[in-house]
């Protein structure tokens, strides 16, 4: 059974999300504080972690940094649950290696879709793991450093508005970079660009 760890200090939301996920057939572990969440992550090694950013004691960013620095837990898929106005924290989290973020209140369909997507991607990466540590390999495709950064996040399934948040630029700027990337790679679709990027990142 797939195990999920939910780290959320707001009790009603924690109970609601836990019930939704349990009914979907997941085994759900819960924690109300950052410290408890980190301990559970290390001892239980869940298949995926859902974590609030603002937590008592240790916050979500500190949890993520600790896990990414722990070889045994570094690859755990990690999704942030964010409040409105958390853009700087979202950027920091994505740069630390978060896989996704969901704004609260999160719709059931969006929650389940994000979890399925990240679990599927984790499974694929275990079989043929690309390295997302640096955009530098993508510059060999003829891209500028900034275009390589955009494509790096694109290859991880991020939409333009997510990339804009992560990189601290406008949606229009990311869209302009995407147009240049497609032209330089000789492709017409996002999916084709992502495939080229993943193959380049696997080759490293």
Please identify, in words, the CATH class of the domain defined by 3-127: alpha beta
Q: 199 or 203: which carries more pLDDT confidence?
A: 199
State residue 70's pLDDT score: 83
Going by C-alpha positions, the residue among 9, 1, 91, 88 that lies closest to residue 50 is: 9
- pLDDT score of 129 more than 80: no
At residue 170 the predicted structure's pLDDT band, cuts being 50, 70 and 90, is very high
**Strand, coil or helix: 59:** coil
Q: Count of CB atoms within 10 A of residue 67's CB?
A: 22
Tell me if the domain spanning 136-202 has CATH number 1.10.10.10.
yes
Give pTM, 2 decimals.
Answer: 0.72
Q: Which of 42-51, 59-68, 91-100, 183-192 has the lowest mean pLDDT?
A: 91-100
CA distances from 104 to 110, 123, 144, 176, 197 (A): 11, 27, 35, 29, 31
Going by C-alpha positions, the residue among 154, 151, 129 that lies closest to residue 139 is: 151
The C-alpha angle with vertex 71 and arms to 65 and 74, in degrees rounded to 5, equals 50
- pLDDT score of 84 more than 70: no
Q: 83 or 1: which carries more pLDDT confidence?
A: 1
Q: What are phi and psi of 107, to 5 degrees?
A: -70, 145
Residue with tokens 């406008």: 170
- State yes or no: cis peptide before 105, omega within 30 of 0: yes
Kindly list the strands in the beta sheet with 27-31, ordered across the sheet, starting from the edge strand earlier in the chain: 27-31, 3-7, 48-52, 78-82, 100-103
Cβ 58 vs Cβ 31: under 8 Å: no
State residue 152's pLDDT score: 95
State residue 132's pLDDT score: 86
**Strand, coil or helix: 128:** coil
Spans of all domains in the chain: 3-127, 136-202
- pLDDT score of 203 more than 70: no
Give per-residue pLDDT as tens, 28-80: 999 999 999 999 999 999 999 999 999 988 999 999 999 988 878 888 999 99
In 99-152, the DSSP E strands lie at: 100-103
């Amino acid at each position: 059974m797939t195990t999920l760890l939910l780290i959320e200090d707001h009790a009603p939301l924690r109970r609601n999300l836990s019930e939704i996920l349990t009914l979907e057939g997941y085994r759900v572990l819960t924690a109300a504080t950052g410290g408890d969440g980190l301990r559970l992550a290390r001892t239980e090694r869940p298949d995926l972690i859902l974590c609030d950013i603002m937590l008592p004691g240790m916050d979500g960013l500190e949890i993520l940094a600790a896990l990414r620095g722990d070889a045994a837990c570094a690859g755990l898929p990690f999704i942030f649950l964010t409040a409105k106005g958390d853009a700087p924290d979202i950027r920091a989290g994505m740069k630390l290696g978060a896989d996704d973020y969901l704004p609260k209140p999160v719709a059931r369909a969006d929650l389940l879709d994000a979890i399925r997507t990240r679990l599927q991607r984790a499974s694929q990466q275990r079989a043929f793991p690309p390295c997302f540590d640096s955009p530098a390999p993508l510059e060999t495709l003829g891209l500028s450093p900034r275009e390589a950064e955009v494509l790096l996040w694109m290859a991880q399934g991020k939409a333009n508005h997510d990339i804009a948040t992560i990189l601290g630029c406008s949606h229009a700027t990311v869209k302009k970079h995407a147009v240049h990337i497609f032209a330089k790679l000789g492709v017409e679709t996002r999916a084709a660009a992502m495939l080229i990027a993943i193959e380049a990142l696997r080759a490293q």
